[in-house]
Structures are given as C-alpha cells and as structure tokens.
Structure 1
C-alpha cells in the first residue's frame, strides 16, 4: 500500500476528527476507498475507538431511489439512532461512477432529502469529516491520469495545516469585523451582509468547526444578498454537469436563474424548499495546494483564487446563538473564479484583487 494512504489516515484521525480512546465512530466507505478504509480502521484500532462501518455506494443509492415510490418515511429510527449515538462519522468517498445517480428523478431526490432532515441534523451534530481516496473514477472526472490525480490529492491533503490555519486566520478576522461583502468581476456584481456573523477558519479539523479533508477556506453565512453573480467553474450537481450558472438576487432571495448547460438542474435545486433560494454560505478558497478544478466540490471550493456561494442551509457555527439562520434540505455550492478582473471588498476595502490577497506579494489595491 502507498505510504501516503497511511499518512492520509493519520491526518484524518489525528488532526481532522481528533478521535480519542472510547469514541464511537461510524465510517462510511465508498466502493473505491477500500485501501484508505483499511488504513483508517487500523488507526482507529490503535486508538481504542469503537468502529461501525457502512457501505457508502452511489450505485446502491441509485438502485434504491429509482425503485422507491417516493413516499419516504420521515427519519427512519434505526438510521437516526446510529448518528445520535455516535461521536464521529468519517465519510470516505471514491466511488466507481461519479455520475451514478444522474438518472434519479429530481423530485425523488428532493423528497428523500426532506424526509431525512432530523437524521441530517443528528449527523451534523457529530464530529463528522468527509474526505476522498484518489480513485480512477475521480481522476477521470478531473480529466487527469490516475497517477497525476494521486499527486494532486495528496498535495491538497498532506499539508502543514497549522501554518495554513495561521494564514487563514487573517481572513477570518476581517470577516468577523465586517458588515458587508462586495464581489465584483465580469458579469458579477453582488453585495451580501455579514453583520453579526462569525467566520469559520476551515482548517480541516473539527476543533475549528471544519469538517472537510482537504480544507483551506474561510466561510461565513451571508444574508440580505442583492445583485447578480456568474459561477464560471463547471461542476456536477445531482449527478449532472452544469456550466456558467447565473443567479440574480433581490432582498436575499434568488429571483431568476440561468445556465449555459442544464439550467433545469439549477431550477430543481431552487424549488427544493423556501430556504433553497437563499444563501447559506460565502466561502473564500485559500488552499494553494489545489491549483485546478476537478469537478469535485470537496476540492474545488477550497481552490485558491476562487469564491463559492452555497444555496440553502447555513452552518450554525457562523450564527449568533439566538439565530437559526437559513434553513433548507440542501446545501449546494457554486464556484466563481476570481483570478482575473475581479475584486473582493469588505466594508469598501479591497481584500483580494485578481486572486491575490492584500497580505501577499503582488497585491495591487
């Protein structure tokens, strides 16, 4: 086994999930993530954790959802109890077919998501972490050879996380102190309020309310969004490729949309529920180990010189204790490239121009 697989497992268990002896851990394993799962299981055994493994197969989910009548029981007790009784959930992605669920009807996906709201909340209440093993299917989706994709993944995952966390803390301080964000570039001209919000320094560790490995972003929960934004980084949503998504916001709500490819998928997302038309996240990518889009949101939203916005659910970590924030059955990220002819300003002060932050060499205010 590649030594980097064991290094990946070490980072996941020690830095990201902070697993301790006696912790009750669920590990969801995709079809292609077997090697990483073996390495993680050995690490959990050494740690003295209690492990339950589940099979996280997109093809299995497709078969189930296509055969179902769409009338799902709300929050099945056995599934809910699994997460309610767990300390941590480790999701190891890396399936055989990244588009396995592309032909599942949108209304069935929506109904299933709505029926699992409490289950999803129970999952989110654990120290959950999502990561991926560099499989051939993911390499193919990224347009890369398997060997090149392995290098890409490990460059993004096996970083000096403490050093990156320190750099990102400057952006967190700016957002925490700010009231309004203004994003401009090309056909994008968007303002968002971040007043009374708390930004998360997403260091790939649950200790910082960060739940993805790799990570490398700073995010908050915007509201009162107005203007237009174009998301020019192609991506797959609900198993379908979308490109150049355009959204128009008025008084916090998406009132119009379009896309150069498969706009109906965007419409399905927006129609999920009332909260799906509002933003739940503003995220700023800062991981320079991720230097190209790969059609995987786990990596692409952390890519340096990008900004992403998520339709739907807001994360509680960004909200005041007395505020629930935007609620939705979805959290769908969309990404815009800010590497050229773009600026990101907080309270009128430009923080990033053409992909370069004000504390970096080459910044031009």
Structure 2
C-alpha cells in the first residue's frame, strides 16, 4: 500500500474527524475507495472506535432509482443509523462519475427530498467527506492516474495548522463585514453577510470544517442581487454543466442559462423553493489545488476561486435561532477570480486578480 494512503487515513481520523475511543463511526465506502477504507479501518481499530461500514456505489443507486416508481418513503432505518453515530466518514471514489446521468432529474429531486431527514441526521454527527484517487476521477480530470494521485495527496497532506492561521485573516474580515461584492467577467453580484459567522474550513470538525481536503472560508449570504457566471465546469447529478449563468433579484434566481447542461441546472433549481436561493458563499484558499478536476470537493477549494451554493445553508454560519435557507440540496457552482476580478467587502478590495491583500503580488490600485 502507498504510504500516502496511510497518511491520508491518519489525517482523516486524527486531524479531521478527531475520533476518540468508544466513538461509533459509520464509514461510507465508494466502490473505488477500498484501499483507503482498509487504512481507515486500521486507524479506527487502533483508537478503539466502533466501526460500521456501508457500501456507497453510484451504480447501485442508479439501479434503484431507475426501477423505483418515484414515490419514495422516508428512509427511517438509515436515519436511525446516523442518529446513533458519533462520526460519519464518506470515502468517495467512484468507478463512473456519470453513473446516474440517465436517471431523470425529477426522480433524483424526489429522492433527495425524501432523504432530507437522513441528511440532517448525518450532518448532526462529526462528519467528514474525502475521496480516494481512482482512474475514473483521473479520467474526468483529464489526467493520468499517476499524476492525479500526486494531485490528490498534494491537496490532502497539507500543513493544516499553518493554512488555518492564514485563512483566519479572511474569516475575521467576513465576520466583521456587512456586504460582499464579486466582480469578474460576466459577474457583478452583491450579497449581505451581516450577522453571519464565517467558517475557517481547515479540514477539521474542530473548525466546523467537514471536507478533506479543505482550504476555504465560507459563510451564508442573503439578499443576493445581480448576475454571476460560473466558468469552472462541474457535474450535477451525473450531468455536465458548463458556463452556467444565474440572475438574482431579492435573493432568488429569476433567470438561468448554461452553455451545456441547462436542463440539469433547471432540474436542480426546481427541487424546492430553497434551491433558488444561496446557502453558501465560499472563497477557495488551498494553493495545493492547482487546477480544476470536475470534482467539487477539490475544485471549490482551489486558490483564486469563489463558489456559491444553491440550497441549504450551514448552521455554523447562522445566528442562534436563525434557520437560514432550507433546501433538500446544497450544490456548489464555481467561478475563477482571474485578471480583472475583485472580491470587495464593505467597499474595500480584499482580493484582486485572485491575489489577497496579504499575499505577495497584490495590486492595491488595480
């Protein structure tokens, strides 16, 4: 076994999930993540945790959804599993990133709505999602398998404490801010962040962070106005979406388009009322992620990008008693902050041309 797999597992169990002796841990294993699952199981056993492993194959999901009549009952048994769990670890790594592409958007939306209670129970645990490099993911990224493995481990095996200290600078700015404006090609968008708390997403539940790799600072915006173009392609429910454009009025999407996958975008927006509003504004700060790979877990953390999620807002960003935007979905759309871009907080430019004001090369005058 590649020593980096063991290092990945150790980082996941120790730094990210903070697993302790006696914890009940549910591990969802994608069909291509076997080696990482073995390494994670060894780490959990060494700490005296209790392991329940589940199989999470997209092809299994496809078969079930295509055969079902679409009238989904609540998944009470699965919810009970997460209600009893202390930790949930999702080990991604599919054999086919488009396995569910021929499942209708209506069916996938109905399935998501029926499982909303499961999602809530899962997110009430100390949950962390990560991914094991597979050949299908390498192919989706347009990379050789060997190069993709190096890419994944460069993103995952970071000095997370040092990155957390750097990202704290942006968290402090957003916590004190009231309005964010994004300006880039095809984008001029404003949103309120007043009374919100930004999350320093340093790949650990200790930071209210639930992805490995991570490397972003995110918050929950409201009152979104303007237009935004997303120039990083993504796969939504097994379907490719490229150059998506959204127009917001009074916080809600009133118009949308895409160069590719417009039907997938429309299906997403039709999931429920909350799917037409933003649940997240995130700023990518992981400079170990150097290119887009059609995997949101990595792409949204890429330094020099901003992502906006349609759907559910995270409780960690909200004031006590505020439920925020509610939805059965949370889907991130990503745009590069390249030449000519600005990220502005309360009239002050915090990032220009993808470079933060505390980084070398920041051009204060533009």
Task: Supply the distance in 1 between the matched residues of 2:333 and 2:187 (Cα, whole angstroms).
Answer: 13
Matched, 1:20 2:23: no
Alpha-carbon distance, 1:77 to partner: 2.0
Alpha-carbon distance, 1:339 to partner: 2.0
Q: For residue 110 of structure 2, give the secondary structure of its aligned residue in structure 1.
A: helix
2:209 aligned partner: 210
Task: Supply the distance in 1 between the matched residues of 2:118 and 2:139 (Cα, whole angstroms).
Answer: 32
Matched, 1:294 2:254: no
2:103 aligned partner: 104
Write the deviation string for residues 104-132 of structure 1: whole angstroms up to 9, x where unpaired: 11111011111111111000000010000
Task: Supply the distance in 2 between the matched residues of 1:187 and 1:334 (Cα, whole angstroms).
Answer: 14
Q: For residue 303 of structure 1, give the secondary structure of its aligned residue in structure 2.
A: coil
Task: Supply the distance in 2 between the matched residues of 1:81 and 1:246 (Cα, whole angstroms).
Answer: 39
* Paired residues of 2:184 and 2:338 also in contact (CA < 8 A): no
Write the deviation string for residues 180-221 of structure 1: whole angstroms up to 9, x where unpaired: 000001121000000000000000000111000000000000
Mapping for residues 1-365 of structure 1, pairs under 5 Å = 1-74=1-74, 76-365=75-364
Q: TM-score, normalised by structure 2?
A: 0.99
* Paired residues of 2:92 and 2:132 also in contact (CA < 8 A): yes
Shift >2 Å, 4+ stretches: none
Task: Supply the distance in 2 between the matched residues of 1:296 and 1:108 (Cα, whole angstroms).
Answer: 23
Task: Supply the distance in 1 between the matched residues of 2:56 and 2:42 (Cα, whole angstroms).
Answer: 19
Task: Supply the distance in 1 between the matched residues of 2:156 and 2:310 (Cα, whole angstroms).
Answer: 26
Write the deviation string for residues 22-81 of structure 1: whole angstroms up to 9, x where unpaired: 00000010111110000000000000000000001000000000000000102x221111
Task: Supply the distance in 2 between the matched residues of 1:296 and 1:80 (Cα, whole angstroms).
Answer: 27
Q: For residue 114 of structure 1, give the secondary structure of its aligned residue in structure 2.
A: helix
Alpha-carbon distance, 1:2 to partner: 0.3
Alpha-carbon distance, 1:177 to partner: 0.1
The unaligned stretches of length 5 or more in structure 1 are none
Number of residue pairs aligned between Structure 1 and Structure 2: 364
Write the deviation string for residues 303-346 of structure 1: whole angstroms up to 9, x where unpaired: 00000000000000000012100000110100000022100000
* Paired residues of 2:156 and 2:213 also in contact (CA < 8 A): yes
Q: CA RMSD in A?
A: 0.5
Q: For residue 18 of structure 1, give the secondary structure of its aligned residue in structure 2.
A: coil
Task: Supply the distance in 1 between the matched residues of 2:321 and 2:327 (Cα, whole angstroms).
Answer: 18
